[in-house]
Structure formats: structure tokens, C-alpha cells
Structure 1
Amino acid sequence: MAQDDGTVVKRLQQEDSFERETFEGLDLQNVDLGDKEFYRCTFLNCELQEGRWKDALLEACVFQGCNLTRANFNAIRLRGVRFEGSKLMGIDWTGVAANPEVNFEECGMPYSSFVGLGLRQTSFVRCVAREANFFDMDLTDADFTSADLTGSNFRGCTLTRTDFSGATGLVLDPARNKMKDTRIPQDTAMSVVHALGMLVEGYHAKTAGRGGAKKTGAKR
């Protein structure tokens, strides 16, 4: 690590508040940033794996090309935060402070867990969120355009006007989620229809009627 980088890391550990600063190419793995406050700061290509952010405040901050795998976001306050092209694997977002304001774009976030959060109007555009859990959430007006949701679970969610256009691997159970004006891909729509006990002509194979095929011929 260069001396300048070492000085910056030392400042991050010793000082409490940072404003309009750019942190680039830093190795901050396992660093404790709890109780720190960041205003309009940018993190570029930083290694932040397993970092601890308990009770930290991030306001109008951007993370670009960062690795935050298994970061601990317990009680973190997120206000107007954007993650772009970053790795967010295995993060449990359940413990973040109430009413987070956050958006994700082209992020890798497999094995993430979102439980009981209000993420209205949140963007997950072009994110890879495989095997993620979205439970008991308000995702009204959220945007999952072109996201990879293979193996992910949505349960107890409000999906009013949620946009899943172009999403892949999306499976939704209408009996377990509140859906209204929800925009979903055709394949997902067919699975939803099938879950409701209906078949779409030209898409689902015909099933044999009760008693099998109807016999024809003259009566004797």
C-alpha cells in the first residue's frame, strides 16, 4: 500500500466525519467504519470486504466498482446512496436503519437478504441478484429492469407498479405477494397464470379431459 493510501486509511479510522471526498483504490477489508459520517463522498474501486459500518451515516454517496462482499450494514443510515458496478455478495440488508434511500445499477448481489424493508422506487437495474431473498417488503415502483433474479424468492412483498421488464429467472407467486400493475416478462406471466390454475392457449400443452378422449361412433 502506498504511503498516501496508508495516510488516508489512518484518517478514515481516526476521524469521524468526511465531506466531498473521493476515496480511490483503497484496501479497507475488515476495517471498522462504524459511527462515521460521510457526506457527498465517492468510493472508487475500493476493497471493502467484510467492512463494519454499524451506525454509520452515508448521505449522497456513490460506490463505483467497489467490492463490499459480506459487509456488515447493521444500523447503517443510507440517504441517497448509489452503488454502481459493485460487488455486494452475501450482504444482509435487513438490519439497516429505517427508510433507506438507495439505488443499485449493474451490481453483483447474489445471496443477499432483504427482509421487512421499505424500498419504494429503488432501482436494481441490470443487477445480478441470484439466490436473493426479498421477504415482507414494500417494493412499490421499484425497478428491476433487466435484472438476473434466478433462484431468488419474493414472499409477502408489495409489488405495486414494480417493473421487472427484461428480468430473467423471475418467479412470482401471486398468492404470496400483493401485485397490482406489476410489469413482468412473458415467461413469468405464463408461470403466474399457471399458478392460478389456468392454461394459455398456444403456450401450455393441452391436458386430457376427464375420462380421457371422447369416443365417437354409432350407438348400438
Structure 2
Amino acid sequence: MEIESHGEYLEQKFSDSDFEDETVKHTLFERCEFINCNLTGSRFADCRFVECTFFKCNLSLISIPNSRFSACEFNGSKLVGIDWTKGYWPRFDFYSQLSFKSCILSGSNFFALKLHETHFDDCRLHDIDFRNTELNKSMMTDCDLTNSLFMQTNLTSVDFTGTHSFTIDIRQNTLKGAKFSRFEALELLYGLDIQLVD
């Protein structure tokens, strides 16, 4: 099945399709399923994805100028190098409720976005820009946060259980009510110029 611009796709299933480097404009996807699709390098401009699911898809390097994602789920998918800040994020819509499970999102940019209650579970989150991001009440469980950036990030009540390899300065971020596994919580002390003795 091809995707055409200026269209509406309701409860459509796209399976084993190759949309690499395609450009789609002004299109609505509502309650659609993308299964094992290749969307690498595609450009979705002024599109809306509402309650869509992506299963084992490759969305690496997609471009999303002024596109909106609401209540979408990504499972077992690759989403490397995406600049999420280019999408449309309504100022008063604090709950886009994105969910990523067993995904690779390395090299992506979430700078200053409001991502309250976002779920990241068992994800590779290397080299991600979370600076100035609102992640209140989000879940970031069993993730690898190697080289990801946190600065002036609101991490209030975030669940980091099982997550590792993070560098989060407790003086530069808001961590009230955040939950960490006991051993990984020691990483929060490394930036305080203190000595840990066994």
C-alpha cells in the first residue's frame, strides 16, 4: 500500500512496506498499524499520527516538520537520529503520551519538549538531548542512557528503575520523587566531588 499526501488513513494496517525517503504532507493517520515497515529518511510534513502503533519498524532519520504524534506506541523499533523538536507540540497539550518499548532512539533530540508521562521501557537512549525537557511522571525503566544530556530537566516522579549509565547532576536537574534502583542511584553522587568508600 502506498501513502499519499493530503489523505486520511483510519485504522489502516501497513505491513512489510518500504517507504524509505518518501515525502508525505498534510496527512492524517488515526489508529493505524505499521508492522515491519522501513520508513528510513522519510519526511512527514504537517501530518498527524493519532493512536498509531509501530512494531519492528525502522524510522531512523525521519523528518517530522510540524507533524504531531498523540498517544502513539513504538515497539521493537529503530528511531535513530530524529529531531523531535521539529514536530508540532501544542503549548497546552502536556500529555502526548508517547510509549517506546525495546526501541533504539540513540542520537535523537528532545530538547525543551513537554513529554509528561512518556514511557521508555528497555530502550537504548545513547547520546540523547534531554536538556530543559519536561519529563514529569514519565517511566524510563531498564534503559541505557550512555552519554545522554540532562540539564535543567524536570524529572519529578520519574521511574528510573533498572536504568543505568546515566550522568544526571542533582544540582542542575529537578529530581523530586524520582525512583532509582539502589545500586544505580550511586551514579548520582559522582558529580558532587566526594569520595565513596567501600
Q: 1:57 to 1:197 in 2, by over 3 A?
A: same
Q: Residue 82 of structure 2 aligns with which residue?
A: 91
Are 1:60 and 2:64 matched, yes or no?
A: no
The match for 1:16 among 7, 23, 26 is 7
Are 1:45 and 2:36 matched, yes or no?
A: yes
Q: Residue 149 of structure 2 aligns with which residue?
A: 153
Q: Residue 33 of structure 1 aligns with which residue?
A: 24
Please list the CA deviations of residues 53-85 of structure 1 after superposition, one character each: whole Å capped at 9, or x if unmatched. Answer: 111011110000000010001211111111111
Asked whether the 8 Å contact 1:172–1:188 carries over to 2, the reply is no
Higher helix share: 1
Q: 1:188 to 1:195 in 2, by over 3 A?
A: farther
Please list the CA deviations of residues 93-148 of structure 1 after superposition, one character each: whole Å capped at 9, or x if unmatched. Answer: 11221143311111011111111111111001001111111111111111110011
Distance, in Å, in 2 between the alignment partners of 1:14 and 1:88 is 22
Identity of aligned residues (%): 28
Q: Residue 117 of structure 2 aligns with which residue?
A: 121
SS in 2 for 1:128: coil
The match for 1:181 among 177, 183, 186 is 177
Are 1:102 and 2:85 matched, yes or no?
A: no
Are 1:80 and 2:80 matched, yes or no?
A: no
Q: Residue 163 of structure 1 aligns with which residue?
A: 159
Distance, in Å, in 1 between the alignment partners of 2:97 and 2:159 is 18
Aligned residues: 193
My pick for the range that moved more, 172-181 or 39-48, is 172-181
Asked whether the 8 Å contact 2:97–2:117 carries over to 1, the reply is no
SS in 1 for 2:140: coil
Q: Which is greater in Rg?
A: 1
How big is the alpha-carbon RMSD for the aligned residues of Structure 1 and Structure 2? 1.5
Q: Which amino acid aligns with 2:114?
A: G
Q: How does 1:132-143 map to 2 (within 5 A)?
A: 132-143=128-139
Distance, in Å, in 2 between the alignment partners of 1:57 and 1:184 is 35
Superposition deviation, residue 175 in structure 1: 1.8
Asked whether the 8 Å contact 1:29–1:50 carries over to 2, the reply is yes
Superposition deviation, residue 188 in structure 1: 4.1
Of structures 1 and 2, the one with the larger relative CO (CA 8 A, separation 6+) is 2
TM-score normalised by the chain length of structure 1 = 0.83
